[in-house]
Amino acid sequence: MPSSLSTPGYGVRSGALMGWRPLVESLGGEPLALLRDHGLSPDLLGDPDAIMPVARFAALLGGCARHLRCPDFGLRMADGQGMAMLGALGKLIQDSPGPEAGLAVLQRHIALHNQGEYWSSQVTAGRLYVYRFELFDDDLDRRVYRELSVGACLRLIQELIGRDIKPSRVALSHRPLAAPARYRRFFAAPVSFNEEQDVLVFDAAILRRRLVPASDALNRYLDGYIQRLIHETGDDLARQVRALISQTLPAGRHDLEHIATLLGLHPRTLQRRLRGQGAGFNTLLTETRMAAARWHLAASTIPVTLLAGLLGYANVSAFSRAFLRVHGCPPRRWRRDHAVVGPGRRDAGAML
């Protein structure tokens, strides 16, 4: 087994498998057998919040492309993905005031819920550049995984802002798996390969458009998802609050009032019931943030400045002060002392 498959720490929500099973079946494959062959449990198909190793997920996708003789497997799978795979954050994205805010939530979601990568965007000279960064090293052929990731990001943007939106250019950091014409059809744009960075480029004017209203079906699914999340935590109110904080941190909707609304409680009632369990909302918020911070600092190379935003802090200074109070040292020093460094990885502490 490649060493990367046993590297600890990097996980991705099994919601990333959205559309995988029907695609495999349409190509004549046996989904359960393929999962077992790649060390993954069939139970993942029924629990979108379960965490699977990113390396095993990437190996599964590559194995499907080879076994089913479908070189564009990643692009086909991307066509079956959408806002529903994001769970509770899908609802928060749809509730954003506009495309810029929605895209900010989307990129934060990807960074927080797929621990093996993150996205960053910037506007330059009238163009919106959406960059993809990979945070794990291994000896796998990850091209199918990368094509799924870039393709799914485009489909999410189109679902959020408009199906008519097309990138002006796409750059991929690997050699093509399928004929170049297949990529041009999928992205409806020129695609270049063997580039330094995966990037989608759009006309920045798309940021001035209105968000596409969510369909009734999507709203029902997302509302039901939140209720299932609450139900699965049982009668443990503190556990419910932690779960909802984790889901809403990237969108900046983790305040007491919003969490209380999701639980169907008045904020004062929520506080009173938490005190009855010997807990407090601010304490649970800090514990949830710090647990996520420790994981990212130890197991990823995500910049501390971006991590601060992912955890809902106004700026990196506020995050650093909070981390210092809890751990007795600033986050960059903690990363230097605790980082899990794999073969060929850069020093995470050097990233600003």
The pLDDT, as a whole number, for residue 351 is: 29
pLDDT at 160 over 70: yes
The pLDDT, as a whole number, for residue 284 is: 94
Q: 111: pLDDT confidence band, cut at 50, 70 and 90?
A: low
Rounded to 5 degrees, what angle do the CA atoms 39, 41, 43 make? 170
pLDDT at 331 over 80: yes
Encoding tokens for residue 68? 């089913």
The pLDDT, as a whole number, for residue 1 is: 34
Which residues neighbour 185 within 8 Å (Cβ) at sequence distance 6 or greater?
none
pLDDT, mean of residues 316-340: 92
Q: Tell me: the pLDDT tens digits for 220-236?
A: 766 666 666 666 666 78
Contact present, 12 and 115 (Cβ < 8 Å): yes
Rounded Cα gap, residues 87 and 328, in angstroms: 35
DSSP code for 341? -
Residue 314 has φ and ψ, to the nearest 5°, of -65, -35
SS3 19: coil
Residue 26 has φ and ψ, to the nearest 5°, of -65, -25
What is the overall mean pLDDT for the chain? Answer: 84
**pTM of the entire predicted model:** 0.70
The pLDDT, as a whole number, for residue 341 is: 47
| Percentage with pLDDT > 70 across the chain | 82
DSSP code for 97? S
Contact present, 180 and 72 (Cβ < 8 Å): no
pLDDT, mean of residues 113-131: 86
Q: Tell me: the pLDDT tens digits for 289-326?
A: 998 888 778 866 678 888 888 788 889 999 999 999 99
The pLDDT, as a whole number, for residue 104 is: 78
Of residues 316 and 247, which shows the higher confidence score?
Answer: 316
Q: Which helix (H) or strand (E) holds 136?
A: none
